[in-house]
Chain A
Amino acid sequence: MTTSHLTPEVLADYLRGELAPAEDALALAHLDACSACRLDLENETALTDYLRRAAAQETFDLPAEVKSAVRQKLRAARSRSFPSLLVALRPAFALPIAAAILIGTFTFPSLIRTIQPARPTIDATFYLDAHAAQQAIEPLSEHNPMRTAYTERIDANDVVR
């Protein structure tokens, strides 16, 4: 028989009959032997019943005692952090988390690339054109009507001051 208490999630699943037969048998055996867990189960049952009744009456504002009970439950759950970690390893939680990590691994870098502005570049033709423009005004180029070699490149770069 295990000595660790049943977690709120296991209790909730037990209450709803959602445990596998073997887990269900273990939980039942534990509840027979553990008064603390039985009390938790009773509180859980009372809370669930109350919520059902409140929902049926369309009561949206919870009474103070219910809020207090919820807070106590939350505090109790937080104090059992280790069992909570184990819960995270359950297939129902672990599989979606693993899938999210997997998807993130593949999509995050491209997402980053999308969000971040691309590293700027300067076309090599800009340098060639600027240099050609400089050459064009040199005397031995100017007297010679040859300042045209980069025409289409100059047009390809919207170079402005």
Chain B
Amino acid sequence: MSFVKTGLALVALIICRAAASAADAQTADSRAALLLRESIDAPKTTSYIGQLQTVRFASNGAWATLARIEHKAPSLTRRWFLAPEALYGDYIVTRGAKTYRFNMKRARIVVSNDPRAEDAVFASDRLDLMFRNYRPLFDDIESTANHPTSSILLINKYTGERAMRLWIDNRTRLVLRKEEFRGNGSVASQTRFEAIRYTNNIPDDIFAIEPPAGFTRTEGLSASVPAPNLDDAIREAGFRPYMPKDLPQGFVLADGNLMSAKSIKTLRLTYTDGLRTVSLFENNKGAAANFGDLHPRITRFEGHEARYIEDGSTTLLTWNEHDLHFALAGDLGREELQQIAASVVP
């Protein structure tokens, strides 16, 4: 009898321990989700000066930049490039939704404006979509740039693949390091603060946007702002666009707009799963993609010959069909983009 009681007690203990572990894991993952949400708003309350390194791993090499960053909460940021040499001295000032890119060698300022960059509702919607498609996993406590950080993995719920890893400062909630992964698990890009110092003592004048003497000012990619009505954009494009019938799970049509590249009207449709985005460009002006010295590779699908390049976590695939020229750019691998492309053509 005592043997039975002891056995039941052991089973109960095991069940309790398992339940407690599950609860702990759930708590940790909930904490990871909370940390992610808090990290979105962290720059609005925390000012800092730091040095940031970015490496994007492309199919034909790697591309690295080193920049000094001054950020004054809530919305003033300057990024001053230290490397590579081709960028040295150039800087970018962000004031809210507006971005001013100072190209010192060409004596030019490119101004971009996208109100969505400051739209809290937009950010919240995207995060909700991301949490529908990705599971945040609390991984570890590590030190990044001499600050204790929580490492969080984002796992795709449908494929089980890890898509991103972030290191979030435990105190300020700023993201101090980030890695993006390709579908095969390899690192596509890495961003990390080599050093960061939190301070409110940052003079306003370093965020000045007055152009130096002799500089010209041009409009940048403000065209990324979506059309209020997708049907209007399609009507203005003047042709019937083809849309993908097969998208990776979790992706939805986010918006669309008509862009102009050297006076060639190009319709862009944007799809996202909250973390990764895919942009489909179409034009009926016979304008093929000019890769210049980017050295594209050739691939084939559904009887089409397409060209593609991989640049960091972004892949660009181009082809033509029915007098339309297509370009598909996305944070996906070439095989995934090809599957989408194959479903675009009728």
Contact = CB atoms under 8 A, between A and B. Distances in A.
Interface of A: 119-140, 142-149, 151-152, 154-155, 157-161
Given A123-B261, A152-B86, A143 B224 contact: no
Contacts of B106: 155
B289 interface: yes
A125 to B, nearest CB: 7
Interface residues of B, number: 84
Given A128-B311, A131-B330, A158-B218, 16 more contacts: A122-B289, A123-B261, A124-B292, A124-B309, A124-B327, A130-B259, A130-B281, A133-B220, A134-B224, A136-B117, A139-B127, A143-B40, A144-B191, A151-B92, A154-B101, A159-B220
Chain B contact residues, majority secondary structure: strand
A159 B289 contact: no
A159 B92 contact: no
A132 to B, nearest CB: 7
Nearest to B56: A149
B123 to A, nearest CB: 4
B143 interface: no
Contacts of A122: 261-262, 264, 266, 283, 287-290, 325, 327
B130 interface: yes
B28 interface: no
Contact of A134 (B174, B262, B279): B279
B79 interface: yes
Interface stretch (B15-23, B65-73, B203-211, B242-250): B65-73
B52 A145 contact: yes
Contacts of A148: 54, 65, 67, 79, 81, 92
Interface string B27-46: 00000000010011111000
Interface of B: 36, 39-43, 52, 54, 56, 63, 65, 67, 69, 71, 77, 79, 81, 86-87, 90, 92, 99, 101, 103, 106, 108, 110, 112, 114, 116-117, 122-123, 126-127, 130, 164, 166, 174-175, 178, 191, 218-224, 259-262, 264, 266, 268, 270, 272, 275, 277, 279, 281, 283, 285-292, 294, 296, 309, 311-312, 314, 316, 318, 325, 327, 329-331
B40 to A, nearest CB: 5
B287 A135 contact: no
B65 A149 contact: yes
Contacts of A151: 81, 87, 90, 92, 101, 103
A154 B65 contact: no
Nearest to A160: B219
B272 to A, nearest CB: 7
Contact of B77 (A131, A133, A145): A145
18 contacts: A119-B286, A123-B289, A123-B290, A124-B290, A126-B261, A127-B279, A127-B318, A134-B277, A138-B277, A139-B130, A140-B130, A143-B41, A143-B175, A151-B87, A155-B101, A159-B220, A160-B219, A160-B223
B90 A125 contact: no
